[in-house]
Amino acid sequence: MQVRDSSQVGKACIFHASVLVRGQSVTEGFHTIDLPIPGNVANRLFSKSDKKPLQELSKTAINDAGTLEKEVLRKSLFCLLEAGSKKINFDKREVKAWVDSARRHFSSRWSAEFFPWLWSAAEEDHKQARELWLNKLRKIAESVLHNAEASLPLRGGRKYRSRASAEAVFYRLYYKHFPTDRKEGELNGHSA
């Protein structure tokens, strides 16, 4: 729906978006973003050119972030806070609050990286761009997990077990959901 001024073709621009977020019959706030768009990407977005490859890459990247957050990081954090228990209780309110806090941190960090990565990926091979994105996501998630290990309350006698179990769960689930990101000779995120 956005029409670009013809005198601005080829120039960088800023896209301003505003949205009122509602959930469960309450307003969760008015959110805005000013999104800088480089000239080469703006040409693609505001012209009649084929936007589908960039749309598909964007959708895949957001889905990857969601999968990593919900299926990998979340379960690893629960494992960490449940002291490496064999059976994890995902319904513990106290544990869930700590996990949700770490997940929000992950979400805010990858969100800040998303558009700069997407704009740089616009002109690259999309397979290679996705590999770069998965690597960024994994590093952010690893950082969030390590920060949680250092800052969240862990059972004193089971700290080592909690950390080892959480990291094992993290890498097992990561490579289960993203098998193409596994490099030959790599074991648990480290070179063999």
pLDDT of residue 26: 66
pLDDT of residue 93: 76
Give, in degrees to the nearest 5, the angle at Cα 157 between 155 and 158: 65
- What is the signed CA dihedral for 186, 173, 139, 178, rounded to 10 degrees? 70
Cα distance between residue 5 and residue 9, in whole Å = 7
Q: Which of 77, 191, 75, 60 has the alpha carbon at shortest distance from 132?
A: 60
Cα distance between residue 80 and residue 76, in whole Å = 6
Mean per-residue pLDDT of the chain:
81
Cα distance between residue 140 and residue 106, in whole Å = 7
Q: Which of 55, 43, 48 has the alpha carbon at shortest distance from 12?
A: 43
Confidence of residue 21 (pLDDT cuts 50, 70, 90): confident
More confident residue, 133 or 39: 133
Confidence of residue 169 (pLDDT cuts 50, 70, 90): very high
State yes or no: pLDDT of 175 exceeds 70: yes
pLDDT of residue 51: 76
Confidence of residue 188 (pLDDT cuts 50, 70, 90): very low
CATH dotted code for 50-180: 1.10.132
Average pLDDT of span 140-163: 80
- Render pLDDT for 36-51 as a digit per residue (tens, 0 to 9): 888 878 777 777 777 7
Q: Cβ of 86: how many Cβ atoms within 10 Å?
A: 7
- Render pLDDT for 53-91 as a digit per residue (tens, 0 to 9): 888 999 999 999 999 999 999 999 988 888 766 677 677
Average pLDDT of span 167-184: 85
pLDDT of residue 13: 79
Q: Is the pTM of this model over 0.85?
A: no
User: Which residues make up the CATH 1.10.132 domain(s) of the chain?
Assistant: 50-180
Average pLDDT of span 87-97: 75
